Structure 1
Amino acid sequence: MTDKSIAPLHAVHQLYQYRKSLSTKPFGARGKKLIRCDFCLLGIQFCTCHLRQSLNSSLSFMLIMYDNEVLKPTNSGRLIADLIPDTHAFLWNRTEPAVEMLALLESDIYQPYLIFPEQYIENGQTIMNQVSQSQLNNKRPLLVMLDGSWREAIKMYRKSPYLQMMPVLSFAPEMLATYALRKGSHEFQLGTAEVAALAIEAAGEPLNGIALQKWFDLFVESSLLGRNRRAKETLTPIEQFKSQFINALQAAK
């Protein structure tokens, strides 16, 4: 178990604790016999909490999470909250969306952008591939992400009118998904943190985007080690991933 004093609990940690309190039985994740850190949900021997640091960012994120998504050890949305200080997280509810969530979307402080594939947009929303200061009117970008499987994300979008009223930030990356834990059904479908890294770059913070991508890479490698998918005779690979993340953090400062 990781000492929570290492770093403060963020929005996804808090949502995890809330969602866990609603459960009548333990969440049956693959590898449920693995002893996990309570915060990063990695195996305790591969815990990365001591490396977590906030980035200096002018961006904000909102994660709208599908039911038990926040309970999954493979969820990469929590990695965004690990690094971006102003991150908000809510459970999706089709009929009773959180009042606080709707207030943030309507706030004079934020300019929301839905991060979503263009091919699923149905309501004539403005589509863009980058965020420029001229679009913001002195507001802070609020990057809204639907966190769940692609089928769940499409359902959230189609069943939530408030998501169909904001501009859309969309990408068509040429690279293959490197999300080795839970790949999408199509090659262009990336993990939540990977898409967030692209969005951060598109919003004018490329070094922060690289830092999040390296944090994601370390998360994937640590998860695979916990699944016995990497040889335990040597930890050289994991040390290399740690080093790459630390270097990216230093470059972003």
Structure 2
Amino acid sequence: MTTTTIQSHPPHAVSRLRSARLERSTRPFLARGGPSGERCAGCRLILSHCICTLRTIIPTQSGVCLLMAEHETLKPSNTGWLIADVVPNTWAFPWARTTVEPALLSLLADTQWQPYVVFPGEFVAPERVVSNVFGVEENTANTVNTKRPLFILLDATWPEARKIFKKSPYLDRFPVLSIAPEQLSRYRLRRSRREDHLCTSEVAAICLGLAGETLAAETLSAYLDVFTNHYLSAKQQLKINWDDEVHQQLQALRAKAALG
């Protein structure tokens, strides 16, 4: 399986992490269940279903820090990649139990940011749990924060995410943002035992919404829907309907972003 880059954007944090992971591999990675053929290095889809022309970068005050499990960057269905496509302030680090990237510790120590570990509150001591972003009232987009929110997302399967949370003591000093999604997950690319388990991109969109980043949140959600549409269409060898509802929704948000 080969890859070709047909997009003009420079590699983002998740793309760079994936490249580094592939360089360490001793054998080629073959995506299980994915379509055969040449893939685009910009979106990981086969070329006939590429979405690189639809990538929409939305400047944000908020940042996203992805702690990624060992194989997540290699999975074409990974949605942390989509966050980095949309949110320019996205960092991605590999997680390991015995080592910590110095750049990660530097980011967490940067005084411009207020880190939040995004994790279900039911598994955390109550005194650490928050449900809102400090200094930002719900549905208020123009609030000025003394520090910028940095959402730490554990990009992994649920068992892996629990291990990352428990075995990362450098996260213990930060508040835990526990989100309460109002709707069930629309993510259809991997199976989950519970419909209320959201994918990483869905969680990021909710966090951005809590921070008042409405356009970024809506764009990321729409971008996930388009990515899912293209991914499944490629898998089922179906042509893309560029005028359907999910594409129109994203195009409307792209037009809104272009107007500033």
Q: Judge same fold: TM > 0.5, yes or no.
A: yes
1:191 maps to 2:199: yes
What is the letter of the counterpart of residue 111 of structure 1? Q
Which position in structure 2 is the counterpart of 1:7? 9
Which position in structure 1 is the counterpart of 2:92? 89
Structure 1 residues 119 and 136, CA, compared in 2 at 3 Å: closer, same or farther? Answer: farther
Q: Report the Cα offset of residue 131 of structure 1.
A: 4.2
What is the letter of the counterpart of residue 154 of structure 2? L
1:200 maps to 2:202: no
Which position in structure 1 is the counterpart of 2:140? none
Once the two structures are superposed, residues 112-144 of structure 1 have per-residue CA deviations (whole angstroms, 9 ceiling, x without a partner) of 011111122247413223443499962221111
Once the two structures are superposed, residues 190-210 of structure 1 have per-residue CA deviations (whole angstroms, 9 ceiling, x without a partner) of 110011111100111122211
Which position in structure 1 is the counterpart of 2:223? 215
Instruction: Report the Cα distance in structure 2 between the residues aligned to 1:137 and 1:251, rounded to whole angstroms.
Output: 24
What is the letter of the counterpart of residue 168 of structure 1? V
Once the two structures are superposed, residues 157-212 of structure 1 have per-residue CA deviations (whole angstroms, 9 ceiling, x without a partner) of 00111222211221122311111001432121111001111110011112221110
Which position in structure 1 is the counterpart of 2:122? 119
Q: In 1, are the aligned partners of 2:6 and 2:40 still within 8 Å (CA)?
A: no
Once the two structures are superposed, residues 92-127 of structure 1 have per-residue CA deviations (whole angstroms, 9 ceiling, x without a partner) of 011111011011101112110111111222474132
Q: RMSD across aligned C-alpha pairs, in angstroms? A: 2.1
Report the TM-score when normalising by structure 1: 0.91
What is the letter of the counterpart of residue 68 of structure 2? M
Instruction: Report the Cα distance in structure 1 between the residues aligned to 2:126 and 2:19, rounded to whole angstroms.
Output: 35
Instruction: Report the Cα distance in structure 1 between the residues aligned to 2:222 and 2:44, rounded to whole angstroms.
Output: 18
- Number of residue-to-residue matches in the alignment: 249
Once the two structures are superposed, residues 11-68 of structure 1 have per-residue CA deviations (whole angstroms, 9 ceiling, x without a partner) of 1111010011111111231226232111211111111112213102111110010011
Structure 1 unmatched ranges of 5 or more: none
Report the TM-score when normalising by structure 2: 0.89
Q: In 1, are the aligned partners of 2:35 and 2:235 still within 8 Å (CA)?
A: no
What is the letter of the counterpart of residue 38 of structure 2? I
Which position in structure 2 is the counterpart of 1:157? 165
Q: Secondary structure at the match of 2:172?
A: helix
What is the letter of the counterpart of residue 244 of structure 1? Q
Equivalences for residues 18-29 of structure 1 within 5 A: 18-29=20-31
| Greater helix content | 1
What is the letter of the counterpart of residue 14 of structure 2? V
Q: In 2, are the aligned partners of 1:131 and 1:202 still within 8 Å (CA)?
A: no
1:241 maps to 2:246: yes
Structure 2 unmatched ranges of 5 or more: 138-142
Instruction: Report the Cα distance in structure 2 between the residues aligned to 1:12 and 1:142, rounded to whole angstroms.
Output: 16
- Percent of aligned pairs with the same residue? 38
Instruction: Report the Cα distance in structure 2 between the residues aligned to 1:202 and 1:65, rounded to whole angstroms.
Output: 23
Q: In 1, are the aligned partners of 2:136 and 2:212 still within 8 Å (CA)?
A: no
Structure 1 residues 238 and 2, CA, compared in 2 at 3 Å: closer, same or farther? Answer: farther
Structure 1 residues 238 and 159, CA, compared in 2 at 3 Å: closer, same or farther? Answer: farther
